[in-house]
Amino acid sequence: MSHFPRQLLGAVEARALQIQLDISFATVFHPRKPPVTLQSIVFEHASLLFNLASLYSQLGSQADRSNAEGIKRAVSHYQVGFSIAYLLSDYLIIDKLSAGTLSYLNNAILPKIVYPPDDDEIPLDLSPAFVQGLESLMLAQAQECSWQLAKISKYMFV
């Protein structure tokens, strides 16, 4: 079963250009803009990773931080979104410790997306600088949770 996503991705990549599949991505931070549409499986890959990182950020934000277990859960969600892309490691064919979801998106996927020369509407959400900012934000959220855990545990700061 673990090889199925890899095989599926290979089959889709091989046929993507032949079937002229339109992939749309609606920007999160500019909801009134129309979705950007490309015929690119790499664009779909980038959209998937962005949405996965967003999901884990949301899960981390919704965790109950009034107790140690809730804070640990929040840190775990932020770390998955930022540091460890273990859920997609077989799908993405990356080492489990080599990159986080956002780091992988920024360094390996975004440079491969080719926008048409006449396309002025490159989504801000998928720009390298913006994704790097989101990486920093998610790391800061995880660090804040660690501070909250230390505070609740009455850890003595030196």
Summarised one tens digit per residue, pLDDT across range 32-65 is: 888 888 888 788 888 888 888 888 888 989 999 9
Helices (H) and strands (E) in the chain, counts: 6, 2
Please state the pTM of the whole predicted model. Answer: 0.73
Per the structure block, which two tokens stand in for 136?
A: 């920093």
In this structure, are residues 100 and 81 in contact, taking their beta carbons and an 8 Å threshold? yes
Structural contact between residues 90 and 10, judged by C-beta atoms closer than 8 angstroms:
no
All domains in the chain, ordered by first residue: 4-152 (1.25.40.280)
